[in-house]
């Protein structure tokens, strides 16, 4: 009995050992296989996701690149078009009218102030002359004073004479690419006419109805002429009282005027002269004082020992 029991136990042990080994080892191998397959799948999923993200980013970059290049080109074309339109409309002038308007207003205000001061000076001088005349009515110098007043331009005069008109070339000539300085009247052109009329025996003269006296200066400022502190724009009208034949002859023989006549023919500048049976020239209004520049002594001169 005892032997049977031992033999039966041995057989049972032998029969159960493969089962325990099989039950222990099989699940471990399956677990290892399953874990291996899960890691590989996860890696492939991650790689696939990264590739998809990279492709999507490339597509977005390509679309953004085309859009940005298109927008940049459109902005450049628009800016160039605006520059061309501005250049065409400007025609060499300033498109910022505010600054020009301020300058024009300043010049006009100063011109009005100069005119008002001139009228005041004239009124005061008339009062002074009237008071002086009362004291010199019985003087032997009265005729001489009256004659000299007419000569220096302090008395209005009337008589036959000549009128000369100078003007710039028409605006249509400027479109041909000609130098602008050749198409406008300069101060030397006005001075040439004035000098020719004086040499022809003119007794009295006006420029733009301003009486010309010994201290009158014609100054060119930009495209205007300043006379007695007041700017004038063309056309310029010069009138002189005197012998008409001599005045016309002096204009015809003046060399500077002959040169100006060449520009009249070439570029269309204006030069007209005509005889007048009666010219009424006003008296000079304004100061008779001659102003001039003087050296400025406010700066020190450096020497070897210091400033003196």
Q: Give the pLDDT confidence of 47-102 residue by residue, as tens digits.
A: 787 777 777 777 766 666 666 777 777 888 888 888 878 777 766 665 555 555 56
Mean pLDDT (the chain, rounded): 75
Determine the Cα angle at 239 with ends 147 and 272, to 5°.
160
Rounded Cα distance, 73 and 77, in Å: 6
Contact 92, 175 (CB under 8 A): no
CA 280, chain centre distance (Å): 41
pLDDT-wise least confident of 133-142, 152-161, 294-303: 133-142
pTM for the full predicted model: 0.53
For residue 238, count other CB atoms closer than 10 A to its CB: 21
- SS3 (DSSP) at 142: helix
What are the tens digits of pLDDT across the range 220-230? 877 788 887 78
Query: Measured on CA atoms in the order 64, 69, 70, 75, is the torsion positive or negative?
Result: positive
Rounded Cα distance, 206 and 37, in Å: 115
More confident residue, 296 or 211: 211
For residue 296, count other CB atoms closer than 10 A to its CB: 6
What are the tens digits of pLDDT across the range 257-268? 999 999 999 888
Contact 166, 238 (CB under 8 A): yes
Give pLDDT, residue 29: 43
């Amino acid at each position: 009995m005892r032997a049977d029991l031992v033999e039966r136990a041995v057989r049972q042990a032998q029969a159960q050992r493969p089962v325990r080994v099989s039950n222990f080892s099989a699940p471990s191998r399956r677990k290892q296989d399953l874990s291996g397959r899960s890691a590989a799948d996860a890696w492939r999923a991650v790689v696939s996701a990264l590739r998809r993200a990279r492709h999507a980013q490339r597509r977005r970059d390509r679309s953004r690149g085309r859009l940005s290049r298109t927008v940049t080109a459109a902005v450049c074309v628009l800016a160039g078009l605006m520059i061309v339109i501005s250049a065409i409309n400007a025609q060499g002038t300033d498109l910022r009218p505010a600054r020009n308007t301020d300058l024009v207003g300043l010049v006009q205000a100063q011109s009005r102030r100069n005119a008002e001061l001139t009228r005041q000076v004239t009124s005061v001088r008339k009062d002074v002359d009237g008071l002086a005349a009362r004291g010199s009515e019985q003087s032997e110098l009265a005729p001489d004073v009256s004659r000299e007043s007419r000569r220096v331009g302090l008395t209005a005069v009337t008589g036959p004479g000549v009128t000369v008109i100078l003007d710039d070339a028409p605006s249509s000539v400027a479109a041909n690419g000609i130098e602008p300085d050749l198409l406008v009247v300069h101060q030397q052109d006005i001075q040439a006419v004035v000098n020719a009329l004086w040499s022809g025996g003119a007794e009295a003269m006006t420029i733009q109805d301003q009486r010309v006296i010994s201290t009158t200066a014609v100054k060119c400022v930009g495209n205007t002429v300043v006379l007695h502190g007041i700017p004038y724009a063309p056309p310029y009208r010069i009138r002189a009282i005197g012998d008409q034949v001599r005045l016309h002859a002096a204009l015809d023989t003046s060399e500077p005027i002959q040169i100006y006549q060449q520009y009249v023919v070439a570029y269309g500048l204006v030069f007209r002269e005509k005889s007048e049976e009666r010219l009424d020239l006003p008296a000079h209004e304004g100061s008779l004082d001659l102003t001039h520049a003087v050296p400025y002594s406010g700066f020190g001169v450096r020497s070897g020992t210091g400033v003196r």
